[in-house]
Structure 1
Amino acid sequence: MRLFASIGTIAAVFLAVYACQSTEPAPVKRVLVFSLTKGFHHASIKEGNAFFMRLGTQHGFVADTTTDAGIFTTDNLKTYSAVVWLNTTGDVLNPAQQAAFEKYIQAGGGYVGIHAATDTEFDWPWYNKLAGAYFVSHPHIQTAKIITLNKTFPATSFLPDSFYHKDEFYDFKSVNTSGLQFLIRVDEKSYQGGKMGDFHPLAWYHEYDGGRAFYSNFGHMPETFSDTMLTQHFWQGLQWSMKE
């Protein structure tokens, strides 16, 4: 009888441990939304932060919004599945913070650049390669024809072949043409002031230095972050970039 009681007790303990393990919630994913500006400050940052916080609520992750570059440490960044550079401008990180972000990407981290993220860190060549290009100029805000180049990628799979959109269309320099997978372009014949010629990309993705990077030129206008099509574009790009 004692033997059977002992076996029963052991089994009960194992079942209790298993029950605790099986009901333990999975870790909540976190996304860092970074919007420090040392140059032009976009009014749309407010709407962008609110959008990413709503997105987290809808899709089960926590979006931490900040302008504090001090959060860029190795230990802090480890807690994030992706880092969104939301309309950042200028020299926003010091050398130690840059090194921490490089380690984060090299460990499989995700990067999402929104609009002015390419108007950032012009003296950091590694960042140029990660973001894919640098901003050089733009004409006045106007409506132009957008052409979808790749419908196999989640962030553009649902877009029409072409559509019209009003925004601030960047001209780029130092474009990493050998490594980027281009997603959309703007037709320079449809608006005034473009300086890149027949092939003028606006969004792209690539795997770089161990991590994943997605960039979109959309995001200058506050209303961008309530546009159903473009918010889906951002979400799918973010989801692709998020490390497991």
Structure 2
Amino acid sequence: MRIFCSLLFCLLFSLVTFAQKNVLVFHETKGYRHASIETGIQAIQQLGNEMDFKTTVSNDSRFFLENDLAQIDLIIFLSTTGDIFDKEEELVFENYIEKGGNFFGIHAAADTEYDWPFYGRLVGAYFESHPEIQPAEIEVVMPEHFTVEHLPETWKRTDEWYNYKNIRPDLHVLLKLNEESYKGGKNGEDHPIAWYQDLIGGGKAIYTGGGHTAESYSEPNFREHVKRCIDFALFQ
């Protein structure tokens, strides 16, 4: 009997330990819609195959009312824009985060829900403006952090570089832009472009400002950065 109980415990423990994670890629837009969204979805689905997580894709905020978010381990806002949620949907999402849910915002996730203070705190900053697409130098602020440790000290790449407003002062900044390396930067010497927060509910909120261009998702370093952000939220 003891042997049977031990085997049963080991089986149940392994099921809990190795249960497949569930990731929601949410991409509803009420403003500008990025042409790169479909490429981003495909890239995340491919990462799901590599990392063994299940990917669900939705562009309808009613998903948050019609499904049990407790079954979702990470919600990715992939270049969402505009005022997406009604009050009921906002409350459901807030409850998800407060109970330990994880959030990963990519690019225009910062151009979303300007009149919802909870979301402003979660995403960490709001989009203010951007210059034309151009190359820039990115400085790694936390070189030992898992999400950026694969990057060179100075990372040169081309994208649409956001200027931000309402930047939370307590962000853990992972990457910042060198405004001397491109034209149109407005945030000064400490211009964040990727960051994370540890949430009171026990989850994580991560944001990266790259990903405007479809080409971003085939760049090895950017793709690895996205992969590591997902890994950080799900497994660390």
Q: TM-score with structure 2 length normalisation?
A: 0.92
Tell me by how many angstroms 1:217 deviates.
0.3
**Equivalents in 2 of 1:20, 1:242: separation in Å?**
24
**Equivalents in 2 of 1:212, 1:121: separation in Å?**
19
**Equivalents in 2 of 1:42, 1:175: separation in Å?**
23
**Equivalents in 2 of 1:167, 1:17: separation in Å?**
54
Tell me the residue number matched to 2:192.
201
Tell me by how many angstroms 1:198 deviates.
1.6
**Equivalents in 2 of 1:20, 1:195: separation in Å?**
57
Mapped contact 2:21–2:234 kept (Cα < 8 A)? no
Tell me by how many angstroms 1:209 deviates.
3.4
Tell me by how many angstroms 1:82 deviates.
0.5
5+ residue gaps, structure 2: none
**Among 130, 138, 143, which residue is 2:130 paired with?**
138
**Among 78, 97, 104, which residue is 2:89 paired with?**
97
Tell me the residue number matched to 1:85.
77
Tell me the residue number matched to 1:240.
232
Matching of residue 218 in structure 1 with residue 210 in structure 2: yes
**Equivalents in 2 of 1:145, 1:113: separation in Å?**
21
**Equivalents in 1 of 2:93, 2:144: separation in Å?**
29
**Equivalents in 2 of 1:155, 1:17: separation in Å?**
38
Higher Rg: 1
Distance 1:213 1:15, change over 3 A: same
Question: What are the residue-to-residue correspondences of 1:32-181 with 2, within 5 Å?
Answer: 32-73=24-65, 76-177=68-169, 179-181=170-172
CA RMSD of aligned residues (A): 2.1
Tell me by how many angstroms 1:195 deviates.
1.2
Tell me by how many angstroms 1:160 deviates.
0.7
**Equivalents in 1 of 2:8, 2:116: separation in Å?**
50
Letter in 2 for 1:195: K
**Equivalents in 2 of 1:91, 1:50: separation in Å?**
25
Distance 1:109 1:16, change over 3 A: closer
Tell me the residue number matched to 1:189.
180
Question: What are the residue-to-residue correspondences of 1:11-50 with 2, within 5 Å?
Answer: 11=1, 15=4, 18=7, 22=11, 25=15, 26-50=18-42
Tell me the residue number matched to 1:4.
none
Moved more, 191-200 or 38-47: 191-200
1:12-48 deviation per Cα after TM superposition (whole angstroms, max 9, x unaligned): x974994697288543210000000000000100011
Divergent runs of 4+, >3 A: 13-21, 23-26
Percent identity between the aligned chains?
36
Count, aligned residues: 232
**Equivalents in 2 of 1:92, 1:18: separation in Å?**
48
5+ residue gaps, structure 1: 1-10
Tell me by how many angstroms 1:239 deviates.
1.6
Mapped contact 1:82–1:243 kept (Cα < 8 A)? no
Letter in 2 for 1:40: Y
Letter in 2 for 1:205: Y
Q: TM-score with structure 1 length normalisation?
A: 0.89
